[in-house]
Amino acid sequence: MAYSLYDAAVTPCIQQLGALAGIIDKAAAHCAANKIEESALLQDRLYPDMFCLARQIRQSADFAMNTGGRLAGVAPPALPAVDDTSFAAAKSRVESALGFVKSLPRAQVDGAEDKVIAWTAGGNERKLKGNDYLQQFALPNFFFFVTTAYDILRHRGVPVGKRDFLGPVNWL
């Protein structure tokens, strides 16, 4: 079986959203065990000009949904209003994104390599062919936000490691 656009776009989002959900569970447990307010940790950031943890998690979920959705020509579902006060709310958003991404039909994603994908970023309309959108914009941003969420938690002492970041792997 040939490697397809679905394999390149949807499969990594499924894996990383699953890993992110597990990382969020560990963050919640760490807060409970150490009497840390979840809302305080969710507002933490690596540097003052960077998004806070809650926003990194939201961006991860939104990029996964928008990546697959745009390639498949399917609008992502409207998610509940943003709630940056608990890890339960953050995990719910990630799980909603995961459910949507898992529901995308392979046949609707495959073949979108040359489809023009249009979206707005930074107040400007952007357009790229599907393959370029995936490789140059969508996946790099998705992995940036997932990685930064992990890094904030690791930096603040949450006991997560590389295995948590990788999520389930089908070792041979």
Question: Which has more pLDDT, 169 or 40?
Answer: 40
Q: Does position 91 have pLDDT exceeding 60, yes or no?
A: yes
| Percentage of residues of the chain with pLDDT beyond 90 | 90
**pLDDT per position as a tens digit, 11-69:** 999 999 999 999 999 999 999 999 999 999 999 999 999 999 999 999 999 999 999 99
pLDDT at 78: 87
Tell me which of 57-61, 64-68, 119-123, 167-171 is least confident: 167-171
Q: pTM score, two decimals?
A: 0.94
Distance CA 104, CA 111 (A): 14
Average pLDDT, stretch 59-80? Answer: 94
| Domains of the chain from N-terminus onward | 5-161 (1.20.120.450)
pLDDT of residue 172: 47
- Whether the pLDDT of residue 153 is over 90: the answer is yes
Residue 59's pLDDT is: 96
**Average pLDDT of the chain to the nearest whole number:** 95
Query: What pLDDT shows up at residue 165?
Result: 97
pLDDT at 1: 67
Residue 171 predicted with pLDDT over 80: no
